[in-house]
Structure 1
Amino acid sequence: MRKQLLTLLAAVALTATAVPASAASARSAVNWGTCPADVTAPLLQCTSIEVPLDYRNPDGKKISVEISRLPSGSPAKRRGVLLFNPGGPGGTGLTLPLEIAQAGLPTNLLAEYDLIGFDPRGVGHSSPVNCGLTPEQLVLDPKYAHNDSEVVAASAFAKGIAQRCAASDSAPVLPFLTTANTARDMDRIRAALGEAKISYLGYSYGTYLGGAYATLFPDRTDRMVLDSVLGPGGYDITEARRSAEGMQDRFPDFAKWAAARDASYGLGTTPAAVTANFGKLADKLDETPVAGIDGSYFRLAVYGLTYQTRSFPRLAQAWQTLLANQAPPGVALPAPTPAKQSQIGTMISVLCGDNAWPRTISTYQDNVARDRAAYPLIGGSTANVLPCAHWPNQPIEAPVRLSDQGPSNLLLVQNTRDPATPLSGALETRARFGDRARMVTVDQGGHGAGLPFLNSCGFNAVTDFLVNGTRPDTDKFCRAEANARELSQQQQQAADKLTDQLRQY
């Protein structure tokens, strides 16, 4: 398999360099060229298209959207285009096609499609925005609130972020960074590529984006895969709070893993002990931070490192280091680079532009008290105040309400214990789509059910649908698999990149 993949990618590279950009696709209205210098993916081709900033005024101000392509390895067999989105909102997507291909996509899928990545509007190389946020504000996640006064403090912090965005040069653009507009951009990409329909593979928030496209443009969808499924409201206040439920579902997997390795890490001899020690260390760090790491930062860092089981050793080592009153490597606040500014600025804008959020502090105080009791691991944080409570603009249109009207060509894949997009939300979205969808539920923890290096049943369901158009007749359940798939060194590196990318958003 590895030899076949390398041979195919080499052929793609030859095609990309030997065929003039203008002749690469007779139907395409774009001219493919080299990618931006900071996109370290030499096999990819890139280009940009213009789209309206405000689709209500299509002849008004334009912005650019940067797209990438990994051409089909077998043009004679090519079915069409397969668009990718890594989630977020705010996730950059130019390198995603190559990373997923290198992580283990089968050669028959690479032959079926041109794999298309793109930076969504406002992000990366697509007319990037910048709110001018400080390193502390770029963390974005609210503090874990133990009481009402800490919710008030979180509200003041969130208000500062909203005010910076409102005073920035990007302020006139921010109201138009919405899921609906990004879905409309996807349709402009489809048209520019000369395609009647598009296929799609989206992760996490990308499932709501894909669902929005399937709702707004049902007749222009081919085969749509939604992996790790958000609830039907997208990333609204319900979904933000639902993350605490996801952590409560997922953490026992790590606690069991760590307890079995207590001799190596010293985190507890039983899952119950590991869980208790988590709370003790978080409380200790609240009182006495280590190298700037307080209890809130620790809780959310642990949450992020449960996204993939392959990250458990890294999590245990970081925890062990903190117990020794030392700072784990790689925990510095994010630098306010243009790339990070565009990602966080876009994330906030989409959250606040898709849905209207509560504006009264008492609402968040009630939510925090409720979720802190129900989901003690991180509920005091995920129910806390985000900048949308102080956002200067109301949404410019109603959120996209996912629809069951349209072709039956949606495949949802979902883990039973996903910390970021819990099963409960996926089931609601599945119900909203009705007979348009089938869902494959995988008995495993983590974020990403159909990735190449995880459960073979879930992955095979995705590839069989994308290659052959075959979906289960009814919703399907995949049993847990005891052993992880053996990966080549190249696949390991690609898997690590994907893991980090999905965890980031």
Structure 2
Amino acid sequence: MKTYARRPLLLALSITAVATALTAAGTPKAQAEAAAALPALTWRPCAQPAGSAGSAGPAGQECAALPVPLDYRDPDGPQLTLAVSRLRSERPGARRGTLLLIPGGPGSSGVQWLRQKADALRKETAGAYDIVSFDPRGVGDSTTASCELSADDRHLVHLRSWPGPDGEIAENVARSRRIADACARHGGAVLRSFSTGNEVRDIDRFRQALGEEKLSAWGVSYGTYVGAVYAQKYPQHTDRWVLDSSGDPDPSRVERGWLANMSAGADDRFPDFAAWASDPAREAEGLRLAERADGIRPLFLALAAQLDRQPKESTTVGVPLTGNRLRQALQNALYNDASFVPLARLIQAARNPAVTPVLPPQLAQPLRDEDAAVTVGVICNDVRWRGSIASYRRAVTADRARHPLTAGMPVNVTPCAFWKDAPAEKPTRITTDGPSNILMIQNLRDPSTPYFGALKMRKALGDRARLVTVDRGGHGVYLGNGNACGDRTVTAFLLAGKRPERDAYCAE
């Protein structure tokens, strides 16, 4: 676990400063004192990982370290460090503000996302913004925590609670209990601080350190919920707010609801893969799986069931291709059309007795312990996961019958069922209170944050938002799926504040 300093004299916030930061209230004098107490960000060129020539960041990308309180109720107590990054406008005369990228996950790196999207964003925004992002607490170069999980428990198909071949969840229960116990023993106060509420407070501290009265933002996936909560807590500090691929913000469920919704999301998206995999154009590539689209689903389900009974050795020693690994490969591939090719190759390899399958890296290797810790930590710290083991077993039985592609995984037991600490605060309810400055954009066939969940976010925001529906499949829209109409709409909003008068639709 990365260390944190206690009461650093140059970095500590005063009680007055934190009260002002958390309430966005106070006299001008108090606000000036709060600003003076904030640490200055010392920017430097971002270091690139060794051998990263193919993924080097854009010229001018800078990085810094931002101290934040471990616990905002004790602002002068232990401090954590956030890795933050910026790309300054190349046209200062055209600059109108700062655009914050809010990463998804939980567990994704904003610093890396900025590196990946910098060129496209620079082109779209034409110098209108300094573009900034950050690694949330627990992620990347920010302060991390560890649960000291075994490598086996850190495999994605185990962190995701895929039931046994007959729907039995006894192994999932034992593993979930083991992970929760390990996180309670080893994660400490740092792990307990990983939450949406603290990420929102960290964003506002970042805003103050940047010296900005308002931020514009582009949040994707889980980042849309973080963005919505920020807009609820600090509406006066929001400028132009883009929520890309939103989930249902129901405060009684949040992450538990998002996970459960993935069952229907996979069903919505699978026909896109089936059409692609049955297209005659796949014949020359050796990737046509069936002559008709309606033949792909039964083929996939039968193959997964066969691998349940008899896993197939892969090129990764000790990690066979099981039915659940194939199902997880499908979930990953449904996020974008570019992943259809490796999924089809994996399916073909699994069907061919003479071929040893090559597993995708995310399925062949366990997650880093720190990455597993932050992913589990946020979803378990945000909301209480209620339910008896019997209730989880009933839910899995019903869901796998209704949605066999996901086999009951989205409603299964998780470590959160055995989490030792109750959430430190209640989830925020998203309401219609606040300025009308939010643009939502959503794919119709999103496997992770399905459209029906986004409609609930839209309803919660009321007249504060407009929704742009894009007739595409996949997860993530802006500068991600090639829909020119969607990209144009978001860019026009960021540059000119131009937003559709009412909810709009972008065709394929």
Q: TM-score range by the shorter chain?
A: 0.7 to 0.9
Structure 1: distance between partners of 2:126 and 2:138: 29
Instruction: Find out whether 1:251 has 2:267 as its counterpart.
Output: no
Aligned to 2:42: 31
Give the deviation of 1:375 after TM superposition: 1.1
Change (3 A) 1:208 1:163: same
What letter matches 2:261 in structure 1? R
Which one is further off, 116-125 or 311-320?
311-320
Structure 2 unaligned runs (5+)? Answer: 1-37, 314-319
Give the deviation of 1:245 after TM superposition: 0.6
Aligned to 1:152: 170
SS in 2 for 1:345: helix
Which of the numbers 293, 300, 303 marks the counterpart of 2:321?
Answer: 293
Identity rate, percent: 39
Give the deviation of 1:421 after TM superposition: 0.4
Structure 2: distance between partners of 1:424 and 1:458: 19
Aligned to 1:141: 160
Which of the numbers 85, 102, 105 marks the counterpart of 1:68?
Answer: 85
Change (3 A) 1:479 1:179: same
Which of the numbers 464, 467, 483 marks the counterpart of 1:436?
Answer: 464
Cα pair 1:28 1:193 within 8 Å, conserved? no
Instruction: Find out whether 1:113 has 2:124 as its counterpart.
Output: no
Instruction: Find out whether 1:241 has 2:263 as its counterpart.
Output: no
Give the deviation of 1:328 after TM superposition: 2.0
Aligned to 1:502: none
Aligned to 1:351: 379
SS in 1 for 2:143: coil
Q: For the aligned residues, what is the CA RMSD? A: 2.0
Cα pair 1:367 1:384 within 8 Å, conserved? yes
Instruction: Find out whether 1:265 has 2:296 as its counterpart.
Output: no
Cα pair 2:66 2:82 within 8 Å, conserved? yes
Which one is further off, 182-191 or 293-302?
293-302
CA offsets 1:416-456 (integer angstroms, 9 cap, x no match)? 00000000100000000011100000011111122255101
Give the deviation of 1:329 after TM superposition: 4.4
Cα pair 2:48 2:57 within 8 Å, conserved? no
Change (3 A) 1:101 1:394: same
Structure 1 unaligned runs (5+)? Answer: 1-26, 481-505
Give the deviation of 1:331 after TM superposition: 4.5
Aligned to 1:9: none
Instruction: Find out whether 1:386 has 2:414 as its counterpart.
Output: yes
Structure 2: distance between partners of 1:321 and 1:112: 48
Structure 2: distance between partners of 1:88 and 1:410: 21
CA offsets 1:50-101 (integer angstroms, 9 cap, x no match)? 1111112222211111100111111121111111123000101112223113
Which one is further off, 267-276 or 132-141?
132-141
Structure 2: distance between partners of 1:453 and 1:69: 25
Cα pair 1:146 1:380 within 8 Å, conserved? no
Structure 1: distance between partners of 2:126 and 2:369: 33
SS in 2 for 1:226: strand
What letter matches 2:171 in structure 1? A
TM-score (norm 2): 0.85
Change (3 A) 1:331 1:42: closer
SS in 1 for 2:242: strand
Aligned to 1:409: 437
Cα pair 2:102 2:223 within 8 Å, conserved? yes
Structure 2: distance between partners of 1:113 and 1:136: 44
Aligned to 2:357: 327
Cα pair 2:246 2:454 within 8 Å, conserved? yes
Which of the numbers 262, 278, 285 marks the counterpart of 2:300?
Answer: 278
SS in 2 for 1:65: strand
TM-score (norm 1): 0.85
Give the deviation of 1:155 after TM superposition: 0.9
SS in 2 for 1:443: strand
Change (3 A) 1:412 1:28: farther
Structure 1: distance between partners of 2:248 and 2:362: 32
Structure 1: distance between partners of 2:198 and 2:493: 27
Structure 2: distance between partners of 1:42 and 1:381: 39
Change (3 A) 1:319 1:115: same
